[in-house]
């Protein structure tokens, strides 16, 4: 990234203004308009196949059969399903006889369409139900879910203003009622089925942003429905964090579609592609781009490049970079090389000097001192900002903010720089990160570091999940001399589990009666009380007041829980007040 050649280091970036006042990257908006439905539309792409798009980030598709209807996805919320049903009834009054889930993200409108699902096939990937039960967030370690929920909110415009220069651009997190029905007809790769006279073939081997994608081929209509072709660059890496997204898997799923040679390609998010040649050309471009990103990352690694070096090394050639479906709108290609490097080799870049670096706070202290002190660094950062060298300005001011998070001048400058980076980036998700944290630095909003689902959502999970996950919050120094078993009975669920503190390490005990060490303390509580304590919506004292200690003493129970982290609201924030 050199001066005057990059959007974050002085390069000129054409901007445009949206109706909500948002100033944003003009090229990104123009390219998105070529690949997405930006206004509500009922697009009849083939006989008996209608795509309803433009109501949000998601397309919902209707397939008409001889004596019934089939739908592909049902919405982010129950309200989406209700709207979809109204749209369907403008086309047909036939009953809905089957629901197809493209993946586990957009299935919350189902009951609005089919009630309790009696007599309706709910078709999907065999992994959908398990992923829904786990929260459908794609977490590698379920214990990090509260952190990833917060990151998801920062990524999808939850904290940005509704109007003004930094207003929302792109998809936003939407909350509402959920009407999910589980898959009752899981399908295998290549399986064929005929419903209401509609012949379908299903493909489930390959995924994209989830591992539960369902691609559907309608051979009699020349249509493929999928969650693999996106309106922009495939989001191989998402800043919110997820399970590893293998570009080879995504590529191979697109190859399956290409080899079916459809006349029409219907996708979860993109405008439908019509015409065999246009479909083939677009698929070839995206397949080539995925191959190039993967191969050039490996080439760079073999040339001795580390994760940060790969940011500028892996680039698309002009003919691919100009493809509308490869615009950097969800993420930036510079993030993909480091992501793949870490998956292949971990954090170490091969330079022995990197093995034992100074801690970040100590680095900041020494670098600021080496550059002449805090005032000199602030002046350098302001000068870089004035020259639109945003990346350099942000690096400099971040040293100051790390040393003193309350420094008003550093916070204000850091916020100003982030705001401008959010305006010039083509990636709407990255814009949301920059704008959200800029607002937090100015004190306009508070962003929680951990965002727990509400008790009603958590209550859908078995008690064993939260009790088992609680173990990671123990402070090993405070618990170093404790060797105690506490049993926790969830009275209204009829379950009893335990935690064994073993001098700084906690083991989950599924069946306390079979554990070699008998519980010294037993606490009985309702599930709601436990979940409110677990999600830090209720203090330890309030939790124990609502619970009943049936073995041992209340003081023993309090001492057991006191060595676990409890995230106080005033401390649970990514930007200190």
Among candidate residues 177, 146, 163, 4, the one with its CA nearest the CA of residue 83: 177
Q: What is the share, in percent, of the chain residues with pLDDT greater than 70?
A: 98
Q: What is the pLDDT of residue 131?
A: 85
Higher pLDDT, 132 or 34: 34
State pLDDT tens for residues 133-186. Answer: 776 567 889 999 999 999 999 999 999 999 999 999 988 877 778 899 999 999
State pLDDT tens for residues 471-496. Answer: 999 999 999 999 999 999 999 999 99
Q: What is the pLDDT of residue 17?
A: 97
State pLDDT tens for residues 209-238. Answer: 999 999 999 999 999 999 999 999 999 999
pTM, two decimals, is: 0.94
Q: What is the pLDDT of residue 139?
A: 82
Higher pLDDT, 372 or 177: 372
CATH topology of domain 36-145+176-290: Metallo-beta-lactamase; Chain A (3.60.15)
Residue 458 has pLDDT above 90, yes or no: no
Mean pLDDT of 374-383: 98
Q: Alpha carbon 30 to chain centroid distance?
A: 25
Q: What is the pLDDT of residue 130?
A: 86
The conformation of residue 191, written as its DSSP 8-state character, comes to -
Q: What's the CA dihedral at 523, 524, 529, 530 to 10 degrees?
A: 50
Which residues on adjacent β-strands are paired with residue 508? 499
Q: What is the share, in percent, of the chain residues with pLDDT greater than 90?
A: 92
Hey, is 25 helix, strand or coil? Answer: strand
Mean pLDDT of 185-190: 98
Conformation bin of residue 131: beta by default, left when phi > 0, alpha when psi is -120 to 50: alpha
Distances (CA, A) of 129 to 70, 81, 184, 413, 425: 20, 19, 9, 46, 36
Q: What is the pLDDT of residue 133?
A: 75
Among candidate residues 267, 240, 206, the one with its CA nearest the CA of residue 51: 267
Helix (H) / strand (E) element for 42: namely: strand 41-46
Residue 541 has pLDDT above 50, yes or no: yes
Cβ-proximal residues to 267 (8 Å cutoff; 6+ apart), any chain: 59, 225, 226, 227, 228, 229, 230, 231, 273
Helix (H) / strand (E) element for 497: namely: strand 495-502
Q: Which two tokens stand for residue 366?
A: 């020494």
Give residue 33's pLDDT band: very low, low, confident or very high (50, 70, 90).
very high
Q: Are 244 and 343 in contact (CB under 8 A)?
A: yes
Residue showing tokens 């971990």: 346
Q: Which two tokens stand for residue 138?
A: 């794609």
Give residue 3's pLDDT band: very low, low, confident or very high (50, 70, 90).
very low
Residue 65 has pLDDT above 80, yes or no: yes
Q: Which CATH class is domain 455-562?
A: alpha beta
State the Rg of the chain over Cα. Answer: 26
DSSP of 66-102: SS-EEEE--BSSHHHHHHHHHHHHTT--SPEEEEE-S
Q: Are 108 and 81 in contact (CB under 8 A)?
A: yes
Mean pLDDT of the chain: 95
Enumerate the H helices of 115-164 as residue ranges: 128-133, 145-155
The answer to which of 103-112, 124-133, 338-347, 502-511 has the lowest mean pLDDT is 124-133
Residue 110 has pLDDT above 90, yes or no: yes
E-strand spans in 159-305? 185-186, 192-195, 198-203, 215-218, 223-226, 264-267, 273-274
Q: What is the pLDDT of residue 135?
A: 65
Q: What is the pLDDT of residue 177?
A: 83
Q: What is the pLDDT of residue 171?
A: 82
The answer to which of 131-145, 270-284, 415-429, 513-527 has the lowest mean pLDDT is 131-145
Q: Alpha carbon 405 to chain centroid distance?
A: 28
Domain ranges in the chain? 36-145+176-290, 455-562
| N-to-C CA span, the chain | 33
Q: What is the pLDDT of residue 577?
A: 80
90-93's contacts with Cβ under 8 Å and 24+ in sequence apart are: 90/42, 91/42, 91/50, 91/62, 91/64, 92/62, 92/64
Which residues on adjacent β-strands are paired with residue 70? 63, 98
């Amino acid at each position: 990234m050199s001066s005057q050649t990059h959007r974050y280091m002085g390069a000129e970036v054409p901007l445009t203004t949206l109706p909500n006042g948002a100033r944003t990257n003009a090229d990104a908006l123009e390219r998105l308009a070529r690949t997405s439905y930006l206004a509500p539309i009922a697009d009849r792409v083939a006989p008996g196949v209608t795509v309803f798009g433009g109501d949000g980030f998601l397309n919902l598709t209707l397939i008409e059969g001889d004596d019934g209807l089939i739908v592909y996805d049902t919405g982010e919320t129950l309200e989406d399903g209700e709207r979809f049903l109204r749209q369907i009834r403008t086309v047909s009054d036939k009953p809905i006889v089957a629901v197809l889930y493209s993946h586990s993200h957009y299935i919350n409108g189902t009951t609005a369409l089919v009630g309790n699902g009696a007599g309706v096939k709910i078709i999907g990937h065999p992994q959908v139900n398990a992923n829904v039960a786990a929260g459908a967030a794609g977490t590698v370690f379920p214990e990090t879910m509260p952190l990833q929920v917060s990151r998801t909110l920062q990524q999808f415009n939850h904290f940005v203003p509704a109007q003004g220069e930094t207003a929302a651009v792109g998809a936003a997190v939407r909350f509402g009622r959920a009407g999910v029905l589980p898959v009752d007809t899981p399908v295998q790769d290549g399986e064929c089925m005929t419903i209401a006279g509609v012949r379908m073939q299903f493909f489930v081997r390959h995924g994209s942003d989830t591992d539960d994608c369902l691609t559907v081929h309608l051979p009699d209509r020349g249509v493929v429905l999928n969650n693999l072709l996106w309106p922009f660059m495939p989001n191989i890496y998402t800043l919110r964090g997820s399970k590893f997204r293998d570009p080879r898997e995504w590529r191979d799923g697109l190859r399956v579609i290409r080899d079916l040679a459809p006349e029409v390609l219907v996708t979860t998010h993109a405008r439908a592609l019509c015409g065999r040649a246009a479909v083939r050309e677009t698929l070839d471009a995206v397949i080539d781009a995925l191959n190039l990103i993967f191969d050039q990352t490996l080439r760079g690694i073999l040339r001795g490049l580390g994760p940060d070096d790969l940011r500028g090394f892996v680039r698309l050639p002009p003919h691919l970079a100009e493809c509308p479906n490869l615009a950097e709108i969800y993420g930036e290609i510079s993030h993909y090389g480091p992501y793949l490097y870490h998956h292949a080799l971990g954090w170490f870049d091969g330079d022995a000097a990197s093995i034992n670096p100074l801690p970040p706070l100590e680095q900041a202290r020494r670098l600021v001192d080496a550059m002449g002190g805090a005032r000199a660094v602030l002046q350098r950062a302001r000068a870089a900002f004035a020259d639109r060298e945003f990346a350099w300005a942000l690096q400099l001011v971040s040293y100051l903010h790390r040393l003193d998070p309350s420094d008003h001048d550093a916070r204000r400058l850091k916020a100003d720089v982030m705001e401008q980076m959010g305006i010039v980036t083509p990636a709407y998700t990255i814009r949301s990160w920059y704008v959200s944290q800029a607002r937090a630095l100015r004190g306009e909003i508070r962003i929680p570091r951990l965002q727990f689902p509400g008790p009603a959502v958590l209550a859908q999970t078995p008690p064993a999940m939260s009790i088992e996950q609680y173990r990671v919050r123990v402070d090993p120094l405070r618990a170093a001399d404790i060797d105690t078993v506490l049993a926790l009975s969830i009275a209204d669920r009829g379950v009893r589990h335990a935690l064994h503190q073993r001098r700084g390490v906690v083991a989950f005990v599924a069946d306390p009666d079979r554990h070699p060490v008998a519980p010294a303390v037993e606490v009985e509580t309702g599930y709601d009380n436990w979940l409110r304590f677990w999600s830090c919506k209720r203090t330890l004292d309030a939790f124990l007041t609502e619970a009943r200690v049936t073995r041992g003493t209340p003081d023993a129970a309090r001492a057991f829980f006191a060595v676990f982290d409890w995230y106080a609201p005033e401390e649970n924030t990514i930007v200190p007040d």
